[in-house]
């Protein structure tokens, strides 16, 4: 998209100023220790509390791993695989770093149950960015601000969004891997 847009600033949330060592900001030469973008794509609800701790176990978002949980090979799902496009996140505010993902564990407003000063990944806690909520674009193309209920990480939520099925392309909260 960059050849058409010609401006990296459009990819950065104006209300996020987080700097991390693993944020390769293209404006600073992708060297790290840079500002993080602040938006991410829906990779699913994650699975921090799943047996074995496999983040990729459910694969209920808009991305599929091609070669197992530690692979770097991903593929997007087709639109026909999304059961409720008007209720499924496509893109939105995130606290993620270089991966730029919209996992529920890295959303602005998520706190670790072990340390409320941290998020579920151990990064510094960041509150919701926009008046107690975050902005999202849905698969059908509409955008919406959503007030976050807040709280700490518990599998099944809702602690990040009012309806955890918004992460799942199946239209429902998943307890197992989605084919």
What does the pLDDT look like over 109-121, one tens digit per residue? 777 777 888 877 7
Strands 74-76 and 34-35, how do they pair? unpaired
pLDDT reported for residue 88: 94
Both tokens assigned to 161: 């969004």
Task: Check whether the bond before 139 is cis (ω within 30° of 0).
Answer: no
pLDDT beyond 70 at 49: no
Let me know if residue 19 belongs to a domain: no
Q: E-assigned strands of 68-142? A: 74-76, 89-93, 133-138
pLDDT reported for residue 51: 46
Both tokens assigned to 143: 């955008």
pLDDT reported for residue 83: 96
pLDDT reported for residue 70: 60
Global confidence as pTM? 0.79
Measured distance CA(142)–CA(128) in Å, rounded: 20
Let me know if residue 9 belongs to a domain: no
- What is the number of other CB atoms lying within 10 angstroms of the CB of residue 169? 27
Placement of tokens 């730029």 in the chain:
100
Q: What is the pLDDT of residues 122-135, one digit of tens each?
A: 778 888 888 888 88
Let me know if residue 17 belongs to a domain: no
pLDDT band at 170 (very low <50, low <70, confident <90, very high): very high
Measured distance CA(60)–CA(9) in Å, rounded: 30
Both tokens assigned to 40: 């991410």
Measured distance CA(97)–CA(45) in Å, rounded: 17
Q: How many domains does the chain have?
A: 1
Is the C-alpha dihedral spanning 98, 104, 105, 106 positive or negative? positive
Let me know if residue 110 belongs to a domain: yes
Q: What is the pLDDT of residues 61-102, one digit of tens each?
A: 898 877 765 666 778 899 999 999 999 999 888 876 656 677
Domain with 60 in it: 38-179
Let me know if residue 57 belongs to a domain: yes
């Amino acid at each position: 998209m960059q050849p058409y847009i010609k401006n990296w600033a459009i990819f950065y949330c104006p209300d996020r100023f987080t700097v991390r060592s693993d944020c390769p900001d293209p404006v600073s030469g992708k060297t790290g220790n840079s500002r993080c973008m602040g938006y991410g794509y829906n990779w699913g609800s994650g699975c921090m509390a799943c047996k074995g701790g496999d983040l990729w176990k459910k694969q209920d978002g808009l991305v599929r791993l091609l070669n197992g949980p530690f692979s770097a090979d991903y593929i997007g799902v087709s639109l026909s695989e999304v059961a409720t496009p008007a209720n499924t996140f496509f893109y939105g505010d995130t606290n993620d770093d270089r991966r730029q993902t919209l996992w529920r564990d890295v959303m602005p407003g998520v706190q670790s149950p072990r340390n409320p000063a941290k998020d579920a990944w151990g990064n510094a806690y960041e509150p919701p960015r926009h008046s107690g909520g975050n902005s999202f674009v849905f698969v059908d193309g509409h955008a919406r601000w959503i007030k976050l209920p807040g709280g700490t990480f518990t599998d099944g939520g809702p602690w990040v969004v009012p309806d955890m099925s918004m992460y799942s392309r199946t239209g429902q909260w998943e307890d197992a891997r989605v084919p």
